[in-house]
């Protein structure tokens, strides 16, 4: 298996997380001592900058310690040492931006990029990285069995992503009339993940890791979802809307047995095939694990800022034509003129659209896949691409309002976080939750 080549600590791989990318300067504080490549130990406050493509490490008095293209700082005593990123100057246009102080365990790699910039990369064991990202994304009070299922899913996705990154480029298919875009694996070079929402929010040890997250990580240490001997590309998102979708609705045209479309409830329904099915499904509010508005359950799952979005199972967004025309123009860069019609051409089994036709007075084009559709139709993103469109028109057929009745939140492929948390509250184990969302996948402990 691919990840074994990356194995480090008894088989546990390391993750390279970029805390800062392409910065000219950074200020650090090392708690306890760290070794630099020539064997010297350093500690305390340090300045980092780039001179002619070389990373220059200096002490607080400005005295140069080392100058190299790349500098690795390894903690002398790995359990006690940590470092704090104090503040950062983003210098390109002489803006100053003060970052929140954040502390991290593990090693630190200062990697020169251009003549004037470097990346600040944290090298950290996978399990510790996972504990931090799960704490950042989940409420501390989330149920344990849900957190265990989430830990196994995120761990599997991460390793599958790192293996895939080496082989699959980012894909686009753009012609005059068809704009089909998706971004699967991240496009980072020289490190595995960044520290913000682009990959997964990673705040090191600044954020307190809750007891349940620690228990969930420890109880599932080294356990992965596997299928036919490979680690599963195990995806997750907030809410499926009652039925999960398949890989090809969101990403490349591939299919995986463990990412089959399932009904998120006790009984399986027939997935969506026709527009009539989609209308019936998305205008109704069928029972499902993730069909919950129980604030007690939601508070246990979602960090407080996500509680602002309560209507995620079924939702409605409406625009007057001028407003939607302006949103589409600014998001797509295409002037469609007066909007005449918006039509779903292809849907996945959850009702998520992956080919949408937009007809205007100046242009007609087809857009996909699900994320690009969501991006084009809202100032930020629509919650999902599972929607049916109705158009209110006046007597001479001019569009007055475009109304989107939708369901779910996120791409809908793999584990539904809200459904999984409700399953845990109902007494299901992590194994049962994973078996529900990842058809036929086998759990294996790999370190
Ligand atoms: Zn990223
Ligand atoms: Zn669901």
How many angstroms is it from 192 CA to the middle of ligand 1? 8
How many angstroms is it from 85 CA to the middle of ligand 2? 39
| Token pair recorded at residue 30 | 């090392």
319-370 pLDDT, tens digit per residue, is 999 999 999 999 999 999 999 999 999 999 999 999 999 999 999 999 999 9
* Lowest mean pLDDT segment, chosen from 189-198, 237-246, 263-272, 281-290: 189-198
Tell whether the model's pLDDT for residue 284 goes beyond 70: yes
How many angstroms is it from 409 CA to the middle of ligand 2? 9
How many angstroms is it from 291 CA to the middle of ligand 2? 7
How many angstroms is it from 297 CA to the middle of ligand 2? 14
How many angstroms is it from 239 CA to the middle of ligand 2? 5
Ligand nearest to the CA of 193: 1
How many angstroms is it from 294 CA to the middle of ligand 1? 33
144-190 pLDDT, tens digit per residue, is 999 999 999 999 999 998 887 766 555 667 777 888 888 766 678 88
How many angstroms is it from 159 CA to the middle of ligand 1? 15
Ligand nearest to the CA of 245: 2
Residue 196 pLDDT level (bands cut at 50, 70, 90): confident
Residue 298 pLDDT level (bands cut at 50, 70, 90): confident
Tell whether the model's pLDDT for residue 107 goes beyond 90: yes
How many angstroms is it from 271 CA to the middle of ligand 2? 14
How many angstroms is it from 100 CA to the middle of ligand 2? 35
Cis peptide before 369 (omega within 30 of 0): yes
The predicted pLDDT at position 168 comes to: 56
Ligand nearest to the CA of 186: 1
Q: How far apart are CA 444 and CA 244, in angstroms?
A: 24
How many angstroms is it from 198 CA to the middle of ligand 2? 23
Q: Whole-model pTM?
A: 0.89
Residue 442 pLDDT level (bands cut at 50, 70, 90): very high
How many angstroms is it from 184 CA to the middle of ligand 1? 11
How many angstroms is it from 187 CA to the middle of ligand 1? 8
Beta bridge partners of 48: 26, 57
Contact 441, 225 (CB under 8 A): yes
Ligand nearest to the CA of 133: 1
Ligand nearest to the CA of 386: 2
Q: Where are the beta strands (DSSP E) in 192-268?
A: 193-194, 223-227, 230-231, 236-237
| Token pair recorded at residue 93 | 């246009």
Q: How far apart are CA 294 and CA 313, in angstroms?
A: 12
Residue with tokens 């310690």: 65
Neighbours of 116 (CB within 10 A): 17
Tell whether the model's pLDDT for residue 309 goes beyond 50: yes
Nearby residues of 18 by Cβ (< 8 Å), 6 or more positions away: 119, 120, 121, 122, 188, 190, 191, 193, 194, 195
């Amino acid at each position: 298996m691919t990840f074994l080549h990356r194995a480090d600590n008894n088989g546990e791989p390391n993750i390279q997380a970029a805390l800062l990318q392409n910065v000219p300067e950074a200020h650090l504080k090392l708690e306890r001592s760290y070794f630099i490549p020539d064997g010297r130990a350093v500690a305390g406050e340090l300045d980092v900058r780039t001179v002619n493509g070389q990373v220059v490490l200096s002490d607080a008095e400005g005295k140069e310690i080392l100058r190299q293209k790349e500098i690795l700082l390894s903690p002398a005593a790995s359990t006690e040492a940590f470092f704090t990123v104090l503040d950062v100057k983003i210098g390109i246009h002489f803006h100053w931006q003060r970052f929140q102080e954040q502390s991290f365990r593990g090693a630190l790699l200062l990697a020169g990029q251009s003549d004037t910039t470097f990346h600040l990369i944290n090298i950290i064991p996978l399990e510790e990285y996972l504990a931090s990202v799960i704490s950042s994304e989940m409420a501390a009070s989330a149920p344990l069995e849900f957190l265990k299922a989430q830990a196994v899913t995120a761990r599997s996705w991460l390793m599958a992503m790192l293996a895939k990154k080496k082989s699959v480029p980012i894909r686009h298919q753009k012609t005059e009339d068809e704009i089909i875009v998706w971004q699967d694996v991240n496009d980072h070079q020289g490190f595995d993940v960044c520290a913000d929402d682009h990959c997964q929010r990673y705040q090191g040890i600044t954020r307190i890791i809750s007891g349940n997250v620690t228990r969930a990580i420890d109880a599932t240490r080294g356990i992965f979802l596997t299928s036919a001997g490979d680690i599963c590309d195990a995806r997750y998102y907030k809410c499926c809307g009652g039925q999960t979708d398949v890989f090809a609705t969101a990403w490349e045209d591939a299919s995986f047995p463990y990412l089959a479309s399932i009904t998120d409830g006790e009984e399986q329904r027939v997935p969506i095939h026709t527009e009539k099915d989609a209308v019936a499904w998305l205008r109704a509010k069928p029972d499902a694990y993730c069909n919950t508005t129980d604030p007690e359950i939601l508070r246990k799952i979602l960090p407080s800022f996500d509680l602002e979005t309560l209507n995620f199972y079924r939702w409605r967004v409406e625009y007057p034509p001028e407003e939607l025309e302006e949103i589409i123009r600014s998001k797509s860069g295409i002037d469609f003129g007066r909007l005449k019609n918006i039509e779903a051409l292809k849907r996945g089994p959850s009702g998520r659209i992956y080919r949408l036709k937009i007809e205007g007075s100046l242009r007609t084009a087809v857009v996909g896949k699900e994320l690009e559709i969501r991006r084009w139709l809202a100032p930020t993103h629509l919650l999902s691409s599972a929607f049916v469109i109705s158009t209110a028109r006046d007597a001479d057929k001019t569009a007055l309002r475009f109304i989107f009745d939708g369901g779910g939140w996120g791409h809908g492929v793999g584990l539904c976080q809200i459904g999984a948390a409700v399953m845990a509250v109902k007494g299901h184990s992590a194994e049962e939750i994973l078996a529900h969302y990842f058809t036929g996948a086998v759990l294996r402990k790999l370190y």
